[in-house]
Structure 1
Amino acid sequence: MTMPPSLTHVDASGTAGMVDVGDKQETVRIAVAEGHVRMKAETLDLILAGNAKKGDVIATARLAGIMAAKQTANLIPLCHPLMLSKVSVEISPDPQLPGLRVESMAKLTGRTGVEMEALTAASVACLTIYDMAKAADREMEIGGIRLVRKSGGRSGDFERTDA
């Protein structure tokens, strides 16, 4: 009989605490997350033409996402500070949305996963897109922030079935 899932950051008395990963084996761990910013087609055109008042939206959002991944432990209370070996943020236009799609990847060799770092990178990249283009379109919508896949660690690999 399998045990029901439990929360790793909460003990039997309900007290939250940081998970001790000291006994875990170091493995290569990779996580990929995604999100999107839906906007008016005219706003997407403005961004792609490089005419946003605040500057290059896509380059700035990419950099913000990378910087955010490196700050995850400062933002999420029980996350371990990690020595990331790679973070990437790819942003692509989607005229069908219309808007921009964001995919982030975080990687390290360590004792704990990088899902939160990938999710933070995607989230902050989307927030930066909103911030830089809000003068043109305050009705933009951020959505679809989710883990796409992860590998490494005791729990093994995960890939969304609806990705």
Structure 2
Amino acid sequence: MADTPEPRLTHLAEDGSAAMVDVGDKADTVRIAEAEAHVRMLPETLTLILAGNVKKGDVIGAARIAGIMAAKQTANLIPLCHPLALTKVSVDIEADEALPGLRVRALAKLTGKTGVEMEALTAASVACLTIYDMAKAVDRGMEISGIRVRAKSGGKSGDWTATT
């Protein structure tokens, strides 16, 4: 049986200190990540948002733009993340009467040396935070949850998709 290296956290140096991973020798590949999250709210709050009757304005439109802007700022928010030249970021927000609430899906894409999972997660998270901020005057009990990577492709580790 061949010796396989012990798994370790890539952002830790040999002495245990935090370190940015050197991706300089990695090949450029197309990398895509999709993330999701949702905001659970009162049915009346969802109705107000969908009708465009929230005093702060277009909740879904503002959340979409906030998510896109956040993805572009990920390296400024998350220590040790590489600044990336994203080629695409999209944020889709759909009503889900069963929650009740809004489901957010974010996609980040680039051609580069490192993945874009953190950018997709940041986009989905900030979109949800914006929904909360804009509607909190009518529903302080909203709940943000389900933040996760749904899928990623590209790079040495290949493709991955969540099974549930």
TM-score in terms of structure 1 length? 0.98
1:52 aligned partner: 54
Percent identical among aligned pairs is: 73
2:106 aligned partner: 104
Deviates more, 1:10-19 or 1:128-137: 10-19
1:159 aligned partner: 161
Q: CA deviation at 1:5?
A: 2.5
Structure 1 gap ranges (5+): none
1:74 aligned partner: 76
What are the superposed Cα offsets for residues 17-67 of structure 1, whole Å, 9 maximum, x if unpaired?
A: 100000000000000000000000000000000000100000000000000
In 2, Cα distance between the equivalents of 1:81 and 1:12?
A: 24
Structure 2 gap ranges (5+): none
Runs of 4+ aligned residues of structure 1 deviating over 3 Å after TM superposition are: 1-4
In 1, Cα distance between the equivalents of 2:89 and 2:159?
A: 19
Deviates more, 1:110-119 or 1:11-20: 11-20
Match of 1:124 among 123, 126, 145: 126
Aligned residues: 162
Name the SS for the 1:103 alignment partner.
strand
Name the SS for the 1:93 alignment partner.
strand
1:37 aligned partner: 39
In 1, Cα distance between the equivalents of 2:87 and 2:50?
A: 30
> Over aligned residue pairs, what C-alpha RMSD do you find?
0.8
In 2, Cα distance between the equivalents of 1:52 and 1:6?
A: 47
TM-score in terms of structure 2 length? 0.97
